[in-house]
A and B are shown apart, each in its own frame.
Chain A
């Protein structure tokens, strides 16, 4: 009797396991700052991934395998990112990890992904993520370096040589500050004031006064948090009329609304998602950008941001690579496929990866934008 029962149980287990074996799902982890101080990055990223995975699975998955998405909310804490990365790699045994949203978190888990031989497609900006190159680590946002170069080129056109730099005390702010300091001499730019402000600041009049006292020709404000909008307001309130240059972290219409009239005329480099409608029809990115914008805004009833676009690019790169590598490909094969991927049109630009370049974007990924009548528009050259 006992043997019979065991036998029956074995059959049930075998039957229930059978359909799973036929088409094993591909597990994709995501570590995103859905809540907390960087939620404006993580929340649209998580929504974008959920939307894309739904679309992919509705079409029958990739090479017959559905995608199983596991999103972990790190709250922008590197400590949490570390434990989630270990959990995803060791317990969940995911195929790839998308995220984290911030540079600090990405750097905290770079080695964990590398040692766990698990693909990491970071949505964070700093160059240190892919320089030096780690075999398994890629990133989708444009390089800080390129943003700084585009800003300096624009300054040259406007005849600006003396600047004040304000940056926030986060990984993003620090990375930008380092690039500005490094690249300024070769572009004949002189930094007169160079100050760091708190990412959770409530008012920055005193910081701005320090810049005012130095009599600069332009201000570079490098941050990705809401505090950057406070800087812009305080600059104008203290009566300074010099041009304000923002980083690509300004690419969220929410910041323009927050800074209101003060945001008018701010200049910043950004991906083309924000100005998708006004691009020429010849632009190869236009179709991709409009498609993403339309489906995101219809589904979530909120404005699309470039940050969600970084997760979109990460998922698309992974999807393409999985498709090209064929069913049942292992992590190493998919990794090499990404490394050799050329001409993939994403929201941040056109990706051309190589073993030495795990970002795949060049200077052209950025467009110089400005704010006019409360909206983003392409800066007239």
Chain B
């Protein structure tokens, strides 16, 4: 019984961790190009989920997901062009405030379009009660889907940022935008591209976690807080680290429930975030030296 319980809590932790991680990695792309945190990332997740549910009304599931990702990518690009592209040398603080404004705008827009109802995509495999059973420990197949998608995204991002010209150019923008521009990199296009990319990844995350968490116009900010926590915990800019941090946080939360009243779960994650910001702002896997050179 003890081991069965232990593994069941572990599985619960993995479920939490995947949700946090898949949202958390979205923060890193815009950070990698602009050096800012996009506080509207949670809204991209919400937009992806909501659009997919709407498309699923008349399209098969895979097409609905692809459609939702593409539509959200276009919206991400448009948002950047309307609100950010024309700014002349914006400060980091100003850009952050703009993204907070955008997040409120998207949320209210979604309320007008979709109303306040709760929606969700169907489970990709099985239904609400199906679970894989491993010696008494049970796991919803959707969690495996989320972990899988998470891994594919991380792999893609690693290859993209480290081994493609476009990816390197995007990273150069974050390191020093003036120098990048002098080298002939179209910095403004790179920033637009980073919004497109992170909107797409957010949307994909929104689709794959939607059967577990549900989707509602206001779900973005809640997801973004946890996603942001793991992005910081792992070290900003590093997708692999965000995933690892997501699992660490998820498992810690889950096991905290074993011994403490469940009401303390969120207090634990916030305490970890605060402690991290005080003790090691560069994150668990981040580089202290590199951190010192950055604005934020």
User: Chain A interface (Cβ within 8 Å of chain B)?
Assistant: 35-37, 39-40, 43, 169, 195-198, 200, 202-203, 205-207, 209-210, 212-213, 226, 229-230, 233, 236-239, 254-255, 258-263
Partner among B11, B120, B209 whose Cβ is within 8 Å of the Cβ of A205: B11
Known A39-B116, A254-B117; contact A203-B212, beta-carbon cutoff 8 A: yes
- Count of B residues near A, CB < 8 Å? 48
Give complex CA distance A4, B12 in Å: 83
Question: Is the pair B138, A239 in contact by a Cβ cutoff of 8 Å?
Answer: yes
Question: Is the pair A258, B266 in contact by a Cβ cutoff of 8 Å?
Answer: no
* Interface residues in B212-258 (C-beta closer than 8 Å to A): 212-214, 216, 218-219, 222-223, 226, 253-255, 257-258
Give complex CA distance A351, B294 in Å: 66
Give complex CA distance A37, B262 in Å: 21
Chain B neighbourhood of A258, CB < 8 A: 118-120, 214
Interface centre among B13, B129, B254, B261 (most CB of A within 10 A): B129
Question: Is the pair B128, A210 in contact by a Cβ cutoff of 8 Å?
Answer: no
B8 contacts A by Cβ under 8 Å: yes
B101 contacts A by Cβ under 8 Å: no
Chain A neighbourhood of B118, CB < 8 A: 40, 226, 229, 254-255, 258
Question: Is the pair A259, B128 in contact by a Cβ cutoff of 8 Å?
Answer: yes
Give complex CA distance A197, B12 in Å: 14
The smallest beta-carbon distance between B249 and chain A, in angstroms, is 13
The smallest beta-carbon distance between B221 and chain A, in angstroms, is 9
Question: Is the pair A261, B214 in contact by a Cβ cutoff of 8 Å?
Answer: no
Question: Is the pair A206, B253 in contact by a Cβ cutoff of 8 Å?
Answer: yes
Question: Is the pair A207, B262 in contact by a Cβ cutoff of 8 Å?
Answer: yes
B5 contacts A by Cβ under 8 Å: yes
Question: Is the pair A203, B19 in contact by a Cβ cutoff of 8 Å?
Answer: yes
Residue of B nearest to A193 (CB): B262
Residue of B nearest to A233 (CB): B128
Give complex CA distance A83, B113 in Å: 29
The smallest beta-carbon distance between B155 and chain A, in angstroms, is 24
Chain A neighbourhood of B209, CB < 8 A: 202
Chain B neighbourhood of A210, CB < 8 A: 257-258, 262
Chain B neighbourhood of A198, CB < 8 A: 263, 265-266
Q: Can you sample 29 A-B contacts with CB below 8 Å? A: A39-B111, A39-B116, A195-B261, A195-B262, A195-B263, A196-B262, A198-B263, A200-B219, A202-B16, A202-B209, A202-B223, A203-B12, A203-B15, A203-B212, A205-B254, A206-B16, A206-B254, A206-B257, A206-B265, A207-B257, A207-B262, A226-B216, A229-B118, A229-B214, A236-B128, A239-B133, A255-B118, A258-B118, A258-B214
B131 contacts A by Cβ under 8 Å: yes
Give complex CA distance A211, B119 in Å: 27
Interface centre among B127, B138, B216, B218 (most CB of A within 10 A): B138
The smallest beta-carbon distance between B121 and chain A, in angstroms, is 11
The smallest beta-carbon distance between A258 and chain B, in angstroms, is 5
Question: Is the pair B213, A202 in contact by a Cβ cutoff of 8 Å?
Answer: yes
B9 contacts A by Cβ under 8 Å: yes
Question: Is the pair B138, A261 in contact by a Cβ cutoff of 8 Å?
Answer: no
B109 contacts A by Cβ under 8 Å: no
Residue of B nearest to A33 (CB): B116
Give complex CA distance A330, B214 in Å: 48
Give complex CA distance A292, B195 in Å: 47
The smallest beta-carbon distance between A363 and chain B, in angstroms, is 30
Chain A neighbourhood of B186, CB < 8 A: none
Residue of B nearest to A37 (CB): B218
Question: Is the pair A196, B263 in contact by a Cβ cutoff of 8 Å?
Answer: yes
Chain B neighbourhood of A40, CB < 8 A: 116-118
Question: Is the pair A260, B218 in contact by a Cβ cutoff of 8 Å?
Answer: no
Give complex CA distance A212, B111 in Å: 37
Residue of B nearest to A203 (CB): B15
B115 contacts A by Cβ under 8 Å: yes
Give complex CA distance A40, B140 in Å: 28
Question: Is the pair A260, B111 in contact by a Cβ cutoff of 8 Å?
Answer: no
Question: Is the pair A203, B16 in contact by a Cβ cutoff of 8 Å?
Answer: yes
Chain B neighbourhood of A260, CB < 8 A: 122, 127-129
Residue of A nearest to B254 (CB): A206
Give complex CA distance A43, B9 in Å: 37
